[in-house]
Amino acid sequence: MVHSRRLAFGAALGCAWALMASCTDCFFTLKGHLVECGTTTPVPGASVSVHIDEGLHGPRTLATTFTSDDAGVFTVTTEGSEVCSATATLTITRPGFMQLQRQFEGARTSVELCMTRSAPPTP
Note the pLDDT of residue 28. 79
Tell me, yes or no, whether 16 lies in a domain: no
For 38, left (φ over 0), alpha (ψ -120 to 50), or beta? left
Which residues, other chains included, contact 46 with Cβ-Cβ below 8 Å and sequence gap of 6+? 34, 67, 68, 72, 74, 92, 93, 94, 97, 115
97 vs 115: CA distance, rounded Å = 6
78 vs 57: CA distance, rounded Å = 12
DSSP state, 60?
E
pLDDT band at 45 (very low <50, low <70, confident <90, very high): very high
Tell me, yes or no, whether 53 lies in a domain: yes
| Boundaries of domain holding 73 | 26-115
Tell me, yes or no, whether 19 lies in a domain: no
Number of domains in the chain: 1
The whole-model pTM stands at 0.73
Tell me, yes or no, whether 99 lies in a domain: yes
Tell me, yes or no, whether 11 lies in a domain: no
